[in-house]
């Protein structure tokens, strides 16, 4: 046993700062306000905004998954787009070829991605820090090409991709609303459907990190040697973190496929993986509520950059990103902490 552990114990890169587990979540009051906003806003905005909010939640879930991996267990990944793609394709193929209900495809996408992530975690165990990042990077670059392979083409649709049918709100909801003379659009239904799943995943993640397993993840993140000395099975928990992260990313991918109504290899390139990584850093590594802030950053800031200059949108985006990293290196978490202190001081006065 000791030999096996020695193999997998690697020097901690020391890049990720230890985040105490209390600091990983929001207070009850703030959570309720957030929830209220997420519940009520769609009633007053256009379908297009609802669609953007749905994407915000979906990318938020994907960033959260990466946050569990990096913020929780201290492992880097630039390969989340691959898991996202597998989830998206699983949902799309099950819906379009097997005629399965969209809601049922999500747990399947999650399980397949969990298995995929767990298996990928095995060889990746021997790597740490930048080497692990590079190995996952390879996964992300390989994925679009694997999806194009002629061998799978009858299911994946090859380069042409697959068009997914958008689900209608279920009959029960429709008839209940018709009592109140209301009608629910597909977009709104999908938003609330996504919101329920997002909240479920968020609660699961918070509890996971507060549990024994979560403590094991964090012990590994902070000091692998100490963790293994305390009897934490480093190999198991490292691969488990990979599996959970991949599984959640897969669910996000499935939701993304249903919302966008289309999957194609070009949707899941390395750019997506880097965006998710970016979202995590901007939101604050290891701070779960920051995931939604990070997700907002990767969805809206490119649009803002484009609004400022069409030709130089990439450069403007770069400048904005640089400013964020320079001014608030710990991302949204830092802003939240400063905000909290200000409110505290205000109350004392």
Partner 1 sequence: MRSEELRVAALAAAVIVFTSGTALAQKKYDAGATDTEIKIGNIMPYSGPASAYGVIGKTEQAYFNKVNAEGGINGRKINFVSYDDGYSPPKAVEQARKLVESDEVLLVFNPLGTPSNSAIQKYLNAKKVPQLFVATGATKWNDPKNFPWTMGWQPSYQSEAHIYAKYLLKEKPDGKIAILFQNDDFGKDYLKGLKDALGAKASMIAAEESYEATEPSVDNHIVRLKASGADVFISITTPKFAAQAIKKLAEIDWKPLHIVSNVSISVGGVIKPAGFENAQGMLSAAYAKDGADPQWDNDPGMKKFYAFLAKYYPDANKLDASVVYGYGAAQTMVKVLEMCGDNLTRDNVMKQAASLKDFAPDTLLPGIKINTSATDFAPIKQLQMMRFKGEKWDLFGDIISGELSE
Q: How far apart are CA 166 and CA 187, in angstroms?
A: 9
Quick one: which segment of 96-104, 120-128, 156-164, 216-224 binds partner 1 (CB under 8 A)?
156-164
CB of 51 to partner 1, least distance (A): 6
**CB within 8 A of 105, min separation 6: which ones?**
90, 91, 94, 95, 254
Should residue 122 be labelled a site residue for partner 1 when binding is judged by CB under 8 A? no
**Shortest spacing between CB 271 and partner 1, in angstroms:** 7
Nearer to partner 1, 185 or 334 (CB): 185
**Out of 38, 66, 135, 148, which residue is the one contacting partner 1 (CB under 8 A)?**
148
What whole-number distance in Å separates Cα of residue 162 and Cα of residue 43? 31
Judged by CB under 8 A, the residue of 129, 261, 301, 320 near partner 1 is: 261
Complex with partner 1: residue 13 or 302, whichever CB lies closer = 302
Cβ closest to partner 1, residue 55 vs residue 61: 55
116 and 278 Cβ atoms separated by less than 8 Å: no
Stretch that binds partner 1, among 196-204, 286-294, 309-317, 324-332 (CB under 8 A): 309-317
85: CB partners within 8 A, 6+ apart: 143, 144, 147, 253, 263, 265, 267, 268
**Could you give the dihedral angle defined by the CA atoms of residues 224, 230, 236 and 238, in that order, rounded to the nearest 10 degrees?**
-30
Residues 21, 222: contact at Cβ < 8 Å?
A: no
Q: How far apart are CA 109 and CA 164, in angstroms?
A: 15
Nearer to partner 1, 30 or 269 (CB): 269
Per CB under 8 A, contacts with partner 1 among 9-48 are 46-48
Contact footprint for partner 1 (CB under 8 A): 46-49, 51-52, 55, 145, 148, 150, 158-161, 163, 256, 260-262, 264, 266-267, 269, 271-272, 299, 302, 306, 310-311, 313-314
């Amino acid at each position: 046993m000791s030999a096996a552990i020695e193999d997998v114990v690697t020097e901690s890169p020391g890049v990720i700062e230890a985040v105490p587990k209390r600091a990983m979540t929001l207070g009850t009051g703030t959570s309720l306000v957030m929830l209220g906003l997420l519940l009520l806003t769609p009633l007053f905005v256009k379908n297009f905004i609802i669609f953007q909010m749905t994407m915000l939640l979906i990318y938020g879930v994907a960033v959260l998954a990466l946050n569990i991996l990096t913020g929780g267990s201290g492992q880097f990944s630039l390969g989340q787009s691959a898991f996202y793609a597998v989830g998206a394709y699983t949902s799309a193929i099950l819906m379009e070829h097997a005629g399965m209900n969209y809601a049922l495809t999500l747990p399947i996408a999650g399980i397949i991605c969990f298995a995929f992530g767990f298996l990928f975690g095995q060889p990746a165990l021997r790597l740490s820090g930048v080497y692990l990042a590079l190995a996952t990077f390879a996964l992300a670059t390989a994925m679009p090409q694997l999806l194009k392979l002629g061998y799978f083409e009858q299911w994946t649709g090859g380069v042409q991709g697959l068009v997914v049918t958008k689900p209608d709100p279920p009959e029960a909801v429709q008839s209940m609303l018709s009592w109140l003379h209301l009608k629910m659009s597909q977009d709104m239904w999908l938003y609330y459907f996504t919101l329920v799943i997002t909240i479920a995943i968020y609660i699961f993640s918070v509890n996971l990190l507060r549990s024994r397993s979560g403590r094991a993840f964090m012990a590994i993140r902070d000091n692998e040697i100490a963790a293994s000395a305390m009897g934490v099975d480093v190999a198991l928990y490292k691969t488990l973190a990979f599996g959970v992260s991949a599984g959640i990313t897969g669910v996000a991918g499935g939701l993304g496929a249903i919302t966008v109504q289309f999957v194609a290899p070009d949707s899941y390139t390395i750019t997506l993986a880097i965006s998710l990584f970016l979202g995590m850093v901007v939101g604050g590594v290891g701070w779960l509520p920051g995931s939604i802030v990070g997700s907002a950053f990767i969805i809206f800031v490119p649009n803002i950059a484009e609004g400022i200059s069409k030709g130089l949108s990439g450069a403007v985006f770069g400048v904005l990103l640089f400013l964020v990293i320079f001014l608030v290196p710990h991302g949204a978490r830092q802003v939240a902490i400063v905000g909290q202190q200000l409110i505290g001081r205000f109350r004392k006065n």
